[in-house]
Amino acid sequence: MTDSFFDFDAALPADEGPPHGLEEDEYDALNDETFGAETEWHEDEWENNHEQLAGHSGVTKSKESFLQQPDDDDEEGLVSGSAAAQLEARLSEIILDDESPSKHKANIAMPPGFWPPIPNLQQKQAARAAGNFPNANPPAIFNQLAAMGQHFPQQQQQPPPPRPTQMVTVRTVEDLERDLRAKSQAQLHQQQHRDGSPLHREGPKGPMDANQLIEMLRVMGTMPENRPQGPPQGHPNPDIVLRLAQNQGKPMMHQPPPPPNGAMMLPPGMRHPHPPPGMHHRLPMNMYPPNFPPHLRMRGEMPPMPWMNQPPMPMHMMHQPPPGMHPHHQAQMMSQQHHMMMQQHHQLQQQARQNGSHDPYAGLMTPKDKQWLINIQILQLNSQKPYVDDFYYTAFQFKKQRAKEKAGERGLRLQRREQRTLEPRAYTPAHFEGSLGKLQVVSVTAPRKIIDMEIMNSDSADAQTPVRDTRKVKQALLELERLYVLVLQLEDLEHPLPEAQQSVTECKEEIVSKILNTLIPAAGAEDKFPSLLSVRKGKVLLLRLFPHLLYSQQTPLWRSLLQNFWIISRKDMQDQVLFEMFPAFREWCAQAVLPNLVEVISVMLPQKSEANPSPSNITPRSPLPAALSNKFGVSIIASIINRAGELDDNSCPPKTHPDWQSWSQFVSTVAEVSCELAIEPSTPLDPLAKPNSLTRFVDNKQSQTLQRLLQIDNKHAA
Amino acid sequence: MNDGSNPTCPPGTATLLEELDKKLMVLLRDGRTLIGYLRSVDQFANLVLHRTIERIHVGKEYGDIERGVFIVRGENVVLLGEIDSEKEASLPLKEISVDDILAAQRREQEAKIMKEKIVSTALKDRGLNMSSELITDEF
């Protein structure tokens, strides 16, 4: 173990074992001498010794008695028994070790309890401190301070009894705080009766801990130096210091964001080589005249006072942040910044007032508040994929950039929004002392399922059918939404913006297959195609989908479309979207070979269904009549016939191909149906080009019908 | 020294910060119209209105009630707009006292209830049961 501490002998006395004359077994270390009745201290001896060394009188005794029992009899008759005296004694004890004006600059502002007590050191310090003031003035001053406005003259005549310094410093700070908190109310009443301090209106709002006291003392310490004509140290200094102490509470009132703290009166960062000579005319910022309008004061505004024109921060404190800076100080610095901003605001106000506009409540939201709000908004805009999350803004910026480039400027790249990210904080749920288990806490960053709630749909007996219909439509719409997302992804793959392409994770084939799985039913599965195509959205979906599909993929879709032509055409009366599909069909048809055509028209051929033997060739659900009565349908059929004619002309496949059989069947069916149609068939969009192809398949009469139907130009008639 | 000038919002965003310290008319979801100076907002568009008056409009007349400071929860605001001081000076409406306007409002409410009753009985006669829950008008 170290045997020296700052060159002081810190060696512990070695364990001696049994005292001289006693054997080991005869000697009992845990005996009465050590622990029992024999341990009564003979107060006088050590007290006198201590008094000599420490040189102060009566400070310590009251503290000690307070520690033991409040009702302890005071041996020396000096313990008043009142809380005030004890407080004052304790306070003086703190300060005694640390503070002396001449040592002000050298000392670091630590309360005595900060470092572990060192026996010899304390006494030496006390001796030093005491030595500088032979008339025991500091104790008197400190006593007054400690009293905080209580019984000033009385305390001066009651020097507190001496006490061992070591014991005191360990407990001083906590006890002091406790007591101060309890006393804040008492002080409030006390101070109102005092004459010398017109400025106080309320006591300190919060606990004033040792730090504040030390600051007070520092101020007090500097002041005497600059008051050459100042009155004797006794009276006014405590006044000012007390006011300072009181006013420390005020900044706390209008600082919502930083927690209420023992705000230092002045910015610690502000340094001044020496307190300016005129300092004593200036009082700290928070001195308000008694008739100050309270509501204005709440906002930190003040009517222009004569001393406001001087630099707002009276810097009469030289205070270097100590190396081991107390967390209080940091909070105080924040409050200083707020203070500074309030003053800037006040200056702005002055300017505005000079301009003539009178709005004393303007600017309640400081720029800092506004910036905070904007930061929240920016945070919400943060995104790694702006094309996905913020589509409209991104697309707009893209368009603007395109326009700019067209205009000739070589502009900057597409700029994203300003991004601000919170530092990711590990979520730790709140923890309360002494509670079993952890809390269920929910926040935006850490959501938890608190209530198990499911939405139950109530069944209503009435209006079933319309409900069912709407439900079907809604289901179709939902399905379409899903498909639309896939189609959008397909389109994004070809979008000029690289971000858009990157946003799609799957390849084209996968997406297409997903879509087709829904549109083209698997064997035995329910066909959703008619319901989807009944809605306008579905048709538009198909429209947008066709450019991305391979030829072979389109065929089944066309087939399905024709198969369900009844429903689709009926529902299309309002929408009229089918016509827009015609160009796509024409394109498809132009590349069709006979098998494709046959596949498509197969739905329109009479089917020999064993399950449903019907006398007529044409199944009741054959789409042909519907197709012929609808302009779109007629156009489809006409295009098909056209194409077949072309193929026939080119003889591919050769004429003996069995498909031509089905084709001829188809053509005759068409002719038959068109004859039987009750209503006048519509005209196709593309008139039939080569009528002679028809003659191979049908007899003349039918051919004529067809020609009439399909608006064949008679000039070309064979 | 104009330090700490107002920060600007990111482009393409909307903010209420530009409306601070302006005289605004705020329409609430319950139908009330408040006119006051907007002093503070937050991320939920909660509003702090200062020197607020509640203006009740009945027909071509209106009445003002002094209300002081209002804190309005953002979700209850339907819309708000700046008041043009010139246009306010030349309102085509007639201002009447608070008691008169409240009486007029009461009469208007009663008339509305009467009308609703007539409509609902007429519908009931025709077999349509219109309950008040189906009507979602807020005011």
What was the pLDDT predicted at B98? 92
Residues B1 and B69 in one domain: yes
What was the pLDDT predicted at A683? 63
CB–CB contact B43 A376 (8 Å): yes
Residues B73 and B14 in one domain: yes
Name the one residue in this structure whose structure tokens are 């002055």.
A350
Residues B75 and B26 in one domain: yes
CB–CB contact A361 B37 (8 Å): yes
Interface check A337 vs B, CB under 8 A = no
Residues B106 and B138 in one domain: yes
Task: Tell me the C-alpha distance between A160 and A57, whole Å.
Answer: 6
**Domain limits at B105?**
97-139
Residue A692 has pLDDT above 60, yes or no: no
- Count Cβ atoms within 10 A of the Cβ of residue A436 and give its class: 0-12 exposed, 13-18 middle, 19 or more buried: exposed
Residues B77 and B128 in one domain: no
Mean pLDDT of A603-626: 55
User: Cβ(A473)–Cβ(A535) under 8 Å?
Assistant: yes
Residue A399 has pLDDT above 70, yes or no: yes
Task: Tell me the C-alpha distance between A396 and A393, whole Å.
Answer: 5
Which residue has better confidence, A157 or A24? A24
CA A688 distance to own-chain centroid: 68
Which residue has better confidence, B48 or A149? B48
Q: What does the pLDDT look like over A75-114, one tens digit per residue?
A: 444 444 555 666 666 666 555 554 444 444 444 455 555 5
Contacts of A348 in chain B (CB under 8 A): 2
Interface check B45 vs A, CB under 8 A = no
C-alpha radius of gyration, chain A, whole number: 49
Of the listed ranges A142-146, A346-350, A359-363, B48-52, the least confidently predicted one is: A142-146
Mean pLDDT of A175-192: 63
CA distances to A302, A341, B37 from A359, in Å: 14, 19, 10
- Under DSSP, the state recorded for A414 is P
Closest residue in A to B69 (Cα–Cα): A361
Residue A402 has pLDDT above 80, yes or no: yes
Q: Residue A548, Cβ neighbours under 10 Å: how many?
A: 16
Determine the length of chain A: 718
User: What mean pLDDT is reported for chain A?
Assistant: 64
Mean pLDDT of A348-375: 75
CA distances to A17, A585, A641, B18 from A605, in Å: 121, 20, 14, 70
Name the one residue in this structure whose structure tokens are 């008169």.
B100
Residues B62 and B117 in one domain: no
Closest residue in A to B44 (Cα–Cα): A373
**3-state DSSP assignment of residue B56:** strand
Which residue has better confidence, B2 or A691? A691
User: What mean pLDDT is reported for chain B?
Assistant: 88
Mean pLDDT of B16-24: 92
Residue B17 has pLDDT above 70, yes or no: yes
Mean pLDDT of B31-59: 94
User: Cβ(A185)–Cβ(A204) under 8 Å?
Assistant: no
Q: How many domains does chain B have?
A: 2
Considering only the beta carbons, identify the residue of A347, A364, A370 that sits closest to B7: A370
Mean pLDDT of A384-390: 82
Which residue has better confidence, B43 or A692? B43
What was the pLDDT predicted at B10? 74
**3-state DSSP assignment of residue B24:** strand
Q: Residue A391, Cβ neighbours under 10 Å: how many?
A: 12
Name the one residue in this structure whose structure tokens are 């730790």.
A428
Expressed in angstroms, the distance from the first to the final Cα of chain A is 126
Element (H, E) at A704: helix A700-709
Query: Cis before residue A653, ω within 30 degrees of 0?
Result: yes
Q: What does the pLDDT look like over B119-135, one tens digit per residue?
A: 889 988 998 877 666 66
Q: List alpha helices for A55-118, DSSP H.
A: 59-68, 83-98
pLDDT band at A491 (very low <50, low <70, confident <90, very high): confident
Residues B21 and B53 in one domain: yes
Residue A623 has pLDDT above 50, yes or no: yes
Residues B85 and B127 in one domain: no
Q: Specify the CATH number for the domain of residue B50.
A: 2.30.30.100
pLDDT band at A591 (very low <50, low <70, confident <90, very high): confident
User: Cβ(A642)–Cβ(A688) under 8 Å?
Assistant: yes
Residues B127 and B82 in one domain: no
Task: Tell me the C-alpha distance between A42 and A62, whole Å.
Answer: 17
Which residues, including other chains, have CB under 8 Å from residue A697's CB and lie 6 or more apart?
A: A663, A664, A667, A668
Mean pLDDT of A696-708: 64
CB–CB contact B15 A377 (8 Å): yes
Tokens representing A290?
Answer: 């008694």
**3-state DSSP assignment of residue A143:** helix
User: Cβ(A157)–Cβ(A251) under 8 Å?
Assistant: no
Interface check A341 vs B, CB under 8 A = yes
Mean pLDDT of A251-279: 43
What are the phi and psi torsion angles at A94 (to 5°)? -60, -50
Q: Which of A115-124, A338-347, A479-488, A676-685 has the highest mean pLDDT?
A: A479-488
Considering only the beta carbons, identify the residue of A344, A364, A369 that sits closest to B3: A344
What was the pLDDT predicted at A219? 52
Which residues, including other chains, have CB under 8 Å from residue A272's CB and lie 6 or more apart?
A: A315, A316, A317, A318
Residues B108 and B60 in one domain: no
Task: Tell me the C-alpha distance between A92 and A172, whole Å.
Answer: 10
Residue A447 has pLDDT above 90, yes or no: no
pLDDT band at A621 (very low <50, low <70, confident <90, very high): low
Residues B86 and B31 in one domain: yes
pTM, to two decimals: 0.40
Amino acid letter, B28: L
pLDDT band at A229 (very low <50, low <70, confident <90, very high): very low
Amino acid letter, B48: V
Residues B90 and B124 in one domain: no
**3-state DSSP assignment of residue B14:** coil
Task: Tell me the C-alpha distance between A98 and A533, whole Å.
Answer: 90
Name the one residue in this structure whose structure tokens are 């020396």.
A76
